[in-house]
Amino acid sequence: MVTGGGAGIGRAVVRQWAARGGGVAVLDLDGRSAEEGAADALSAGAAAAVGIQCDVASEESVAHAFRAVEKLGPLYGAFANAGLDAGGFLHELPAETWHKVLETNLTGVYLTCKYALQQILKAGQPGSIVCTSSPAASVGFAAGAAGAYSASKGGISALVRCMAVDYARYGIRVNAVVPGATETRLMWANVKPADVPEMRRRVCEEVPLGRLADPDEPARSVVWLLSTEASYVTGSHLVCDGGILAKAAISV
């Protein structure tokens, strides 16, 4: 089960999991993108696939989506990935924007994990949950104005550690992936379209590997964490950021 599975890293995870022959439920705020993701999964080799419109900030919507997910059979894994980025310096940030970011990114992960855990526990078998965190959970972005986003991702990282401890006794692993600069729509959410080429050039200069990630790259990390290949990994943060967190901010 993948939230935010209609585009970006989520869509790449859907394709890669489908290529392993597994069934997949694609949840996205954009219902058409969710359905297209499910069709893509079937083409890639999924045993079964369904696309479901879902607003992860709404418990009613998440509960409805998971009832549909249950029709595919016992849930093994979930990728809690849906999120948004709305920037602004804190003294200017409307409370409405703060709440929207936290409700989507953090409450959305809580609700996704809540219902995923219920289904995995009901199935009585081991499972795996992966949540999307960010370098912003550990450091402040140099560009600034990312307080709400950073707070939401820091909350996700803390939640992952707690869930890993709480559910290890049931054989349920909980981990986070930490993608860096990745070529997705979300990457440029706060950049004017005309400024994207110049901003992309600058970001590539600042990333130690010298480029942005393709969505397939962090997706491979997610699929590994979901799979039994990572059977002894829980409570971890798999950093896939091209070296961003390893780099000091100063040049001397």
Q: What is the pLDDT of residue 248?
A: 83
Predicted TM-score (pTM) of the model is 0.94
Q: What is the pLDDT of residue 60?
A: 98
Coil, strand, or helix at residue 241? coil
pLDDT-based confidence at residue 193 (cuts at 50, 70, 90): confident
Q: What percent of the chain has pLDDT over 90?
A: 84
- Sequence letter at residue 79: F
- Distances in Å between the Cα of 219 and the Cα atoms of 14, 59, 75, 78, 79 are 9, 26, 19, 13, 10
pLDDT-based confidence at residue 208 (cuts at 50, 70, 90): very high
Report the catalytic residues. Answer: 149
The arithmetic mean of pLDDT across residues 163-192, rounded, is: 91
The arithmetic mean of pLDDT across residues 228-236, rounded, is: 98
pLDDT digits (tens, 9 = 90+) for 49-99: 999 999 999 999 999 999 999 988 999 999 999 999 988 999 999 999 999
Rounded CA-CA distance 125/130 in Å is: 17
* CATH node for 2-239: 3.40.50.720
